[in-house]
Amino acid sequence: MTETKNTQMVEGLKPTASLFEERWDIFKRNHLAYFSFIFLMVLFIFAIIGKILTRWVVLFDPKLVRLPEKFLPPLTPFTSKIIPTEEAPMFNMYILGTDELGRDLFARMLEGTSVSLTVGFIAVSISIFLGILFGGTAGYYGKFRWGFLTIDTIIMRFVDIMLCFPTFFLILTVVALLPPSIYNIMIIIGLTSWMGTARFVRAEFLSLRELDYVTAARSQAIPEWRIILIHMVPNAIAPVLVSATIGVATAILTESSLSFLGFGVQPPDATWGNILSDGKQFIFDAPWITFIPGFSILFVVLAFNLCGEGMREAFNPKLKEGV
């Protein structure tokens, strides 16, 4: 008697935590990953504030050249008599020093934060979009025939072809041949990195397609686009988001490598990558121009990687609560 009552009570109750909350608790137990997550959130706020303060309410001007003030080390107070006071840096101090043209490094880093993150995020958005498009089509409509080839064969062979190119060399070729522009860089990084996502999504879709809830949805004559976008994509998205987190890190690194070879985002737009590669000529005279962006990239990319890895572990269905 009591047993039935208990069962009824248990069945009547909602689960104490939703699936997402349960996974979130697992994620939080990984201190390194959780700390990285908070660090990234702070960084996003910093990037937005930086964008506002360097673009619209110009408190920190990254483009202001003060030639007499070049190569000042970090935390130098502003004492110049030559430069008019309205051109003095904020707080009357060069917080991170100045570069070879006397530009305030702090202002440039602030501007670079939002540009670098934008490059990473847009590139990854493009690659996720293409990955879901191709992977989803191959997984859901794979059996359709076009001549003697199935759609699945066509798409997956195309993925194989793309995987055979040496990625960095391909990016470099295209970036070098196209006119230099920040949009080209984002688009090309996105266009060359969708193959992994496509494989994930295809595999997920192949198994999801056979599940009961999809059959149920189909039996209710729900349109196919709705089944795919509203019922199937959210169930396949977890591994994609994890690889996207790591993808942002890779895109930031790729941009900095391109900057090193002179094909990155062009001045006057500042990114961490091109501040770093400009600074390398002055590594002995002004090491801070190299080390500040270098370590910023290191920490941010590290945070993205650790956060992505923590999420991968937390969202791994094999890992259950309490194990």
Partner 1 sequence: MIQFVLKNIGQRLVLLFFISIISHAIVHLAPGEPSLVDPSNPRMKAEDIQRIRAAFHLDEPLHIQYVYWMKDLFTGNLKSFKDNQPVLKKIWDRFLNSLPLFIVGTLITWFLAFPIGIQAALKRGSMFDKIGTFLSYALISIPGFFLSYICIIFMVKTFNVPVIGMRTFGLENAGIMLRSMDRVWHWTLPSLMSAVAGVAILSRYVRSQMLEVINQDYIRTARAKGLPETTVIYRHGLRNALLPFITMFGLTIPGLIGGSVIFETIFAWPGMGRLGFEAILARDFPVILTLNFISAILVLIGTFISDILYAVVDPRIKF
Q: How far apart are CA 178 and CA 261, in angstroms?
A: 15
CB closer to partner 1, 54 vs 296: 296
Which of residues 88, 170, 206, 241 is near partner 1 by CB under 8 A? 170
Q: How far apart are CA 36 and CA 302, in angstroms?
A: 8
CB closer to partner 1, 205 vs 263: 263
Task: Name the minimum Å distance from CB 48 to partner 1.
Answer: 23
Which of residues 28, 29, 145, 157 is near partner 1 by CB under 8 A? 157
Which of residues 261, 267, 268, 285 is near partner 1 by CB under 8 A? 261
CB closer to partner 1, 1 vs 164: 164
Which residue stretch of 119-127, 198-206, 236-244, 273-281 sits at the interface with partner 1 (rule: CB under 8 A)? 273-281
CB closer to partner 1, 17 vs 32: 32
Per-residue contact track with partner 1, 4 to 33, x per CB under 8 A? ----------------------------x-
Which residue stretch of 76-84, 171-179, 219-227, 232-240 sits at the interface with partner 1 (rule: CB under 8 A)? 171-179
Q: How many helices (H) and strands (E) does the chain have?
A: 13, 4
Task: Name the minimum Å distance from CB 319 to partner 1.
Answer: 13
Restricting to residues 90-149, name those near partner 1 by CB under 8 A: none
Note whether 275 binds partner 1 by CB under 8 A. no
DSSP calls for 177-223: HSPP-HHHHHHHHHHTS-HHHHHHHHHHHHHHTTSHHHHHHHHTT--
Angle between helices 233-260 and 105-140 (to 10 degrees): 140
Q: How far apart are CA 75 and CA 103, in angstroms?
A: 14
Please name the amino acid found at residue 179: P
Angle between helices 272-279 and 287-314 (to 10 degrees): 140
Which residue stretch of 53-61, 69-77, 96-104, 164-172 sits at the interface with partner 1 (rule: CB under 8 A)? 164-172
Which of residues 118, 257, 266, 316 is near partner 1 by CB under 8 A? 257
DSSP E strands in the chain: the ranges are 76-77, 93-94, 145-146, 149-150
Q: Are the C-beta atoms of 180 and 118 separated by less than 8 Å?
A: no
DSSP calls for 219-247: HTT--HHHIIIIIIHHHHHHHHHHHHHHH
Restricting to residues 179-218, name those near partner 1 by CB under 8 A: 179
Look-up of token digits 């043209």: 101
Query: Binding residues for partner 1, per CB under 8 A?
Result: 32, 157, 160-161, 163-170, 172-174, 176-179, 249, 253, 256-257, 260-261, 273, 276-277, 280, 283, 290, 294, 297-298, 301-302, 304-306, 309
